[in-house]
Structure 1
């Protein structure tokens, strides 16, 4: 009797553990399905709401106001100015200068962080494509392969297309329309259409043509080109004229999945690559 009495609590504890296992298993599955967290977070950004004023310039305005106040305080101070006040004004001036140049420094750091980063977004209706013209010499094909790879690696581009002076396809790499990749419309036909367009052909003859967002793409009449993926948000086309001038050797086209994707530094670097290809192709 005593043995049975002692065994009862043990059995009840075992039943409790067995009953708790399915609950723990469901909690683990729910956590895994929710990315390891059941919490929802919202990020709020407070702005001044002043029309035409960029909130990123607040440090610059604050630094300018602080510098003016320091100058006024120095002029109105008794002469000679105490050494402690001079030291305080010097420190205040340094802080004002730091605040003034903070927005510029932030932009440079953002550009440096973006340099070498591929566009993370995937263009809808696109498929990864890789094509190098077999009509070119091996040395030229190596240059084209390097250029397309370097663009996707070092510029915020989702696709790179290069065509010759007569609109012939030279190289294509990255996210291009799935219909083109599947052969619904040949890539050569799509490139010829883009080369004949005013937005990417004639407009980019004198110099690089930059369409920074979908609105600019539509306004230029490039939105309906078969070469562009459905979600293309920015385009940059550059003539390949060579570093020593020379004739028109074709175009280099960059397609981005984000608006205003190409910084000034990236466009300058891509233009240098286009000039190098111009020397190779001429």
Structure 2
């Protein structure tokens, strides 16, 4: 017994590493990817927002006009009610200030003219339609917050009266929509889901824009006076382990307006940036 226990020739065989130990190497990678996705979701509430005071009835696009009116009025008051005689340099300064004030007043008009769109306050509210706000019932709080913010800023900062977002298999419908009177609010989500499946929006592969006609296939859910329609696809990011993998469509952002040519190139680029915020990176699990 003692000779066997102290024999130096005997070697113990170590068992092969278990699969759980092999998989443990990929835990930090998955954690980093998860943290990156969380950071992207946290940035969504801030990076897609445009400048706004949040004051009801105040259009921030006309802010330069009110600044021009204010400073121009101050210059005129100082000129007519100021004490003492007016020197030549002061007259030149006042003329320059009035020129800048006049340019600020005309700036909103020039911006609308260059964009080729009608001002936002000229959108006609559709008649005989219902204003709704519907979300999928089985949705996380984080995604619910993101969808609520995105639909709000699209309605607030663009010429839009109807917006629909489909991402990660979830729906968010907001604004004015043509819904049947016999469908209750609890059934609206299922009704919209069936309409989207019949139209084929879930299978959409590329973005399309109708600046003057919304298309006959969407007329049963959009208001009658809809003139412009933009459907921006949400394309999934390629896999981190296979950059050559084909990108798949994961959803869409639909906006509609009663105005013709309602979405300029800048608006469409901004809406596309919002859609990119919902992109999810696909990873290969081993």
Kindly name which structure, 1 or 2, has the bigger radius of gyration based on alpha carbons: 1
Q: Which has the higher contact order (CA 8 A, sep 6+)?
A: 2
Structure with the largest fraction of helix = 1
